[in-house]
């Protein structure tokens, strides 16, 4: 899958989150910014994103994913 295809999936599943996807067809970096992550620890944030991508991981279209999930305030503080 291309980063653009993954981005399209994420945006359609959770349009309230700002998504950025980068990768080389094998390994991907997914960055997510949204209020959805307020009050969630790092594990819960990753589980949220994995839930959206799991069908594509399970069938082998996505091999490796690094997830960075932030609230808008956390992202602005970077």
Q: Strand, helix or coil at 24?
A: coil
pLDDT per residue as tens digits for the range 50-75: 999 999 999 999 999 999 999 999 99
Nearest of 6, 9, 69, 5 to residue 39 by alpha carbon? 69
To the nearest 10°, report the CA torsion of 13, 22, 19, 61.
Answer: 10
Q: How many CA atoms lie less than 13 Å away from 23 in the CB half-sphere?
A: 23
pLDDT at 26: 87
Residue 3, burial from CB neighbour count under 10 angstroms (0-12, 13-18, 19+): middle
Is position 58 within any domain?
A: yes
Is position 51 within any domain?
A: yes
Total domains present in the chain: 1
pLDDT at 53: 97
DSSP 16: T
The domain in which residue 49 lies consists of 21-77
pLDDT at 43: 97
Mean of all residue pLDDT scores within the chain:
96
Q: Is the pLDDT of residue 46 over 90?
A: yes
What percent of the chain is predicted at pLDDT more than 70?
A: 100
């Amino acid at each position: 899958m291309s980063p653009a295809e993954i981005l399209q999936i994420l945006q359609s599943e959770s349009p309230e989150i700002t998504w950025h996807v980068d990768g080389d067809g094998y390994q991907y970096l997914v960055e997510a910014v949204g209020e959805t992550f307020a009050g969630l620890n790092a594990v819960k944030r990753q589980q949220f994103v994995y839930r959206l991508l799991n069908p594509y991981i399970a069938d082998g279209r996505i091999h490796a994913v690094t997830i960075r999930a932030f609230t808008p305030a956390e992202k602005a503080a970077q």
